[in-house]
């Protein structure tokens, strides 16, 4: 059952059912909540995650449209910085003395949400609404005297300078986007491989682009090439778009699944896919991305990616590519250079 798989959603559903009023629910993996709430409950869903949007048939983006809700219920994201961003954006959407709720599991750090809500709410109004299954629902009431700010992402941007053989540029990162505020070691290693091997391409794709650090290399190295960037996160796509804007680069960002793109349409695909989903390894996800990336390449196309050395990963590489080479070997990952 949904409640057994998602105790935080069941706990949130109980809290909402005890206090029915128009509510905007914002977060990822929230589809089971629709079944858990009473029929006809006045709820609207919003997410920046493509899979959740498709499951719920709800709007997809970075900032929800204003509605008539007096409460926004946020599902605790994995990154505290992303919670801070959503609390700030949600506060600007609510009327004076509206309420903000945050639901999450103890192991996901929901207790830390209390300080975030205290900073946004009127003094003394932050409290626990519901506590069960090692989950809690926290709430705060907004201060009616607070300044009326319009939602905006600019104050949450962090810029990371990147120096490569193709040239230097700034990556614009946002909370919730992989590598926020830094250049992670695996991406740096992949950039070094691109610098050293300088693959040729007229059409290149950055699959799972995040803030666009690899896509920016592609566009910087060959300004006349067609460069596409893809991610399933709306906030990642927004960050990648900003990266290209601030550096004056030309490229197109797609908020889509890799499988949604046309086959045999690129000469080069680069990717640093997630190697973990929460606390678990993401070997099967990586294998699926490898399969999908291979079909996006024309004959002789190159696929350069970061991945763990799991059997499902190496099997996917070997069944899709006629040439598979380890271009960089690190304890936690490898950079693979493959030819279709």
Phi-psi region of 289 (alpha: psi -120 to 50; beta: other; left: phi over 0): alpha
Classify residue 268 as exposed, middle or buried by CB count within 10 Å of its CB (0-12, 13-18, 19+). buried
Question: Which pLDDT score, from 0 to 100, does residue 17 have?
Answer: 94
Residues 6 or more apart in contact with residue 311 via CB below 8 angstroms: none
181-227, pLDDT tens digit by residue? 889 999 999 999 999 999 999 999 999 999 999 999 999 999 999 99
Query: Is the pTM here over 0.85, yes or no?
Result: yes
What's the distance, CA 294 to chain centroid? 23
78-132, pLDDT tens digit by residue? 888 899 999 999 988 898 889 999 999 988 888 889 999 998 888 899 999 999 9
Beta-strand relationship, 276-277 and 280-281: antiparallel
Q: Is 2-141 assigned to CATH 2.60.120.620?
A: no
Beta-strand relationship, 276-277 and 323-329: unpaired
- For the chain, the domains span 2-141, 154-339
Report residue 151's pLDDT band, with 50, 70 and 90 as the boundaries: low
Question: Which pLDDT score, from 0 to 100, does residue 278 have?
Answer: 46
Asked whether the domain spanning 154-339 has the same topology as the one spanning 2-141, the reply is: yes
- Give CATH superfamily name and number for 154-339: Vaccinia Virus protein VP39 (3.40.50.150)
- Kindly tell me if the per-residue pLDDT of 305 is higher than 80: yes
Per-residue burial over 283-311, b = 16 or more CB atoms within 10 Å of its CB, e = otherwise? bebbbbbbebbbebbeeebbbbbbbbebe
Percent of the chain scoring above 90 in pLDDT:
73
| E-assigned strand segments in 210-283 | 226-231, 252-255, 266-271, 276-277, 280-281
Mean pLDDT, rounded, of the chain: 90
Tokens 């709007």 belong to residue: 59
């Amino acid at each position: 059952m949904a409640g057994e798989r998602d105790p935080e959603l069941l706990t949130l559903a109980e809290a909402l059912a005890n206090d029915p009023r128009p509510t905007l629910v914002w977060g990822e993996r929230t589809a089971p909540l629709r079944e858990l709430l009473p029929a006809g409950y006045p709820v609207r869903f919003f997410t920046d995650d493509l899979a959740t949007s498709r499951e719920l048939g709800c709007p997809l983006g970075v900032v929800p449209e204003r509605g008539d809700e007096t409460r926004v219920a946020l599902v605790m994201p994995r990154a505290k910085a992303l919670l801070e961003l959503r609390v700030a954006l949600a506060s600007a959407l609510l009327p004076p003395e509206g309420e903000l709720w945050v639901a999450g599991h103890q192991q996901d750090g929901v207790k830390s949400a209390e300080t975030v809500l205290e900073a946004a709410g009127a003094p003394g109004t932050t409290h626990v609404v519901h506590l069960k299954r090692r989950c809690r629902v926290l709430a705060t009431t907004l201060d009616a005297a607070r300044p009326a700010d319009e939602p905006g992402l600019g104050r949450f941007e962090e810029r990371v300078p990147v120096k490569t053989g193709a040239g230097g540029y700034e990556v614009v990162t946002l909370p919730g986007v992989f590598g926020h505020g830094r250049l992670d070691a695996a991406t740096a290693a992949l950039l070094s491989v691109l610098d050293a091997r300088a693959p040729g391409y007229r059409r290149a794709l950055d699959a799972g682009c995040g803030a666009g650090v690899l896509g920016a290399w592609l566009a910087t190295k060959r300004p006349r090439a067609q460069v596409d960037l893809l991610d399933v996160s709306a906030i990642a796509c927004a960050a990648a778009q900003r990266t290209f804007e601030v550096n004056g680069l030309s490229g197109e960002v797609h908020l889509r699944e890799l499988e949604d793109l046309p086959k045999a349409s690129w000469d080069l695909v680069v990717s640093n896919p997630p190697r973990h989903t929460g606390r678990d390894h993401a070997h099967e996800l990586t294998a699926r991305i490898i399969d999908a990336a291979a079909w996006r390449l024309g004959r002789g196309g190159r696929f350069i990616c970061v991945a763990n050395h799991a059997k499902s990963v190496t099997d996917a590489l070997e069944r899709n590519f006629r040439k598979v080479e380890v271009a960089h070997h690190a304890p936690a990952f490898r950079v693979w250079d493959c030819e279709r």
